[in-house]
Chains A and B, each alone.
Chain A
Amino acid sequence: MLYQLAVPTPIEDVEELRVLEWHVAPGHAFAPGDLVVELETHKAVVEVRAARAGIVRSILAPVGDWQRLGRPLAVVSDTVDEPLPDAADTLAVMHVDFEVT
């Protein structure tokens, strides 16, 4: 199944944020609890961790890109061969854990 990895919500006092660092490259797998991406708010860093296993298929927001809360950052899937869709924002949102530090 295909999912979108989206900017988690809610993050208090944040409208939009910037991608700081990807920790999983396209084509690579992640396990539950893995740090997938770090996002930068106006005063904090948001660590986004996978709540389930999967594979990063396509990064929609590379480092330095801006995205608003709830908007997609990447397409992920359960298996490596599922064909990618035209648009990510209709995909189910993958569950993540996140911490604002």
Chain B
Amino acid sequence: MTAAAELLRTMQRIRAFEEALAQRADRGFQLFSLGQEAVAVGVCAALGPDDQLLTSGRSIAAALARGVDPVAVMAELLGKQTGTNRGRGGRGHLAQPSRGFFGAHAVVAGNLTIAAGVALALSMRGRGIAACMFGDGACGAGALHETMNVAAVWRLPLLLVCDNNGYSISTPQAAALAPQPLAALAEPFRMPARSVDGMDVEAVRDAAVALVAHVRGGGGPAFLECRSARYATHSTSTRETRPDSERAADRARDPIRAQQQRCEARGEADAARCAAWDAEARAAAAAALRAADAAPYPLAASVLEDVR
């Protein structure tokens, strides 16, 4: 299988996984990455096994793209004892550091300084880099400034990835953030930055590969802005505020369809093959749901465990 086809299949798995969960009445409070799959998948294609990925609370795509077991992710999202976090973290805090997924943290911008610390630990142990995904909403927070400053001064091996879907819940970017493009935030810290089409998984991957090489080579931090679009509302409990015309235009930029067309045009996979992969992805999502459903919830009596 070609690298382009692998990217396609990972995005298909994420899409199928989230859509399967979205259809569940008992899915709980979730933040989906529907439409934004290419960002996590493209970034993870540039990371190696010694690296660590941190994300915001929009975490499902990142966890799956990083290779965390979908059964354990689904179990965690449904609050089951067999989840990655024993059912204690949920969507906002998915984590499996042993798989290079240091994890999600659901405080907007709250993962940035943590990621810099992870990067420092990795650099002092002599291997691996940290990558940190965050939304454009985090770009108005002071933590980003503090993190970029220290990371630049200390030349930390840190890739900052802004998954810019254009909205902080309902607030459009123009009403909240002055810098334009957001990648320009990196300039005063003299770190390399790229702003790419976040709906094009290969563009994301290529930029990530280039920036990761800089970071891994000891050049210090780098900044990657991926201009994406989310298809669903901010969260499963948020009202839609965007006009239908805008949403339709976003849907027309579907990263999965675009990658499939690319694979077909290059002769790397035909439509039937892509459809079969999609069916596989949906079967895997259904299996993950079944496994999660069969797993036990944590005991109420365990509530004080692991508090320390």
Chains A and B share a contact (CB less than 8 Å) = no
Please give the residue numbers on chain A whose beta carbons come within 8 Å of chain B beta carbons, in ascending order.
Answer: none
Please give the residue numbers on chain B whose beta carbons come within 8 Å of chain A beta carbons, in ascending order.
Answer: none
